[in-house]
Structure 1
Amino acid sequence: MGVIIRLAIAALLSMPLVSGSPAADVKSHRVSIQVDQNDPQVMNLALNNASNVIEYYRAKNEDVDVDIVTYGPGLHMLRDDTSPVKDRIKRLKELTFPGKIQFSACNNTKQGMEKAEGKAVSIISDATLVPSGVVHLMELQEQGWSYVRP
């Protein structure tokens, strides 16, 4: 190998590797918050946790997504007829943090409640029905989402 080629290879190998773009350095965060209790204090704590996380990363100019997942007795949080926090959810999702917070309602629980109550159960319009709340939490964790239970 010629001296020039060896010098060129040595020069290339000694150059530091640099990130291709500043956007590659921006961290993205994702957290799922479990609600499985029909307790307004737990529901409000979950909403407080979500708000605090979003505000924290917003102040750092870092992206964050939150998914509040309800199942079992916690589904009452997202039931249109029994939610003690539905007005707060609407404000958070539509006004305060649009596009940053998701509410997932367990369809297994919904179907069980409908069978037990003998009537259809409506979920608030700001929520998304998922087949299983527990499976949804598992899959989010498998995709790298952090997990919190207030």
Structure 2
Amino acid sequence: MRGFLHRLATVAFMSLALASAGSAAEEKKPHRLAIQVDQNDPQVMNLALNNATNVIEYYRGKGEDVDVDIVTYGPGLHMLRADTSPVQDRIKRLKELAFPGKIQFSACNNTKQGMEKAEGKAVSILSDATIVPSGVVQLMELQEQGWSYIRP
């Protein structure tokens, strides 16, 4: 009888261990990517958009969610300026490709204000973009929240 109880306890323990491992595997870490654009270079902007598209399509193919934030500041703000963006058509297409809320384009307000002061006129940002107080702070805070970071 004692051997039977020992085997029963062992089986029960193993079942609990397997159940715990199974539920841990089901709890997938969210995929979140921050992409920095700080250059007024169409090649860099297109590379950032290519990276975002590839990541979204990869995880969509696996049936997994991914959030992407393309953060622009300094000369890279031109990517999101309505009057100077060489990639605004691609941004619109990518916004349509991604599930709602899965991609964000962040425009640095510090840079925007600096450009407005230097140019003596208001700077218009694309409607697909969100103005954040500081691009650098946005990147920093996303990384502190566990987002992956790349700079094309």
TM-score (norm 2): 0.85
State the Cα deviation string for residues 22-47 of structure 1 (Å, max 9, x = none).
Answer: 99344421010000000111100000
C-alpha distance in structure 2 between counterparts of 1:89 and 1:45, whole Å: 12
Find 1:54's aligned residue among 53, 56, 61.
Answer: 56
State the Cα deviation string for residues 100-145 of structure 1 (Å, max 9, x = none).
Answer: 2110000000000000000110110000000000010000000000
Which residue is 2:19 aligned to? 18
Q: Which residue identity is paired with 2:104?
A: Q
C-alpha distance in structure 1 between counterparts of 2:24 and 2:13, whole Å: 23
Find 1:28's aligned residue among 27, 30, 51.
Answer: 30
Which residue is 1:114 aligned to? 116
C-alpha distance in structure 2 between counterparts of 1:40 and 1:110, whole Å: 19
**8 A Cα contact 1:57 1:63, kept in partner:** yes
* SS, match of residue 18 in structure 1: helix
Which residue is 1:88 aligned to? 90
Q: Which residue identity is paired with 2:140?
A: M
State the Cα deviation string for residues 1-36 of structure 1 (Å, max 9, x = none).
Answer: xx9xx9787665443252586993444210100000
* SS, match of residue 105 in structure 1: strand
State the Cα deviation string for residues 57-80 of structure 1 (Å, max 9, x = none).
Answer: 111111111100000000000001
* Residue 98 (1) aligns with residue 103 (2): no
Q: Which runs of 5+ in 1 are unaligned?
A: none
Structure with the larger helix share: 2
* Residue 40 (1) aligns with residue 42 (2): yes
TM-score (norm 1): 0.86
Q: Which runs of 5+ in 2 are unaligned?
A: none
C-alpha distance in structure 2 between counterparts of 1:63 and 1:103, whole Å: 18
Q: Displacement, 1:98?
A: 2.9
RMSD: 2.2
Q: Percent identity?
A: 77
Runs of 4 or more, structure 1, over 6 Å off, are 6-11
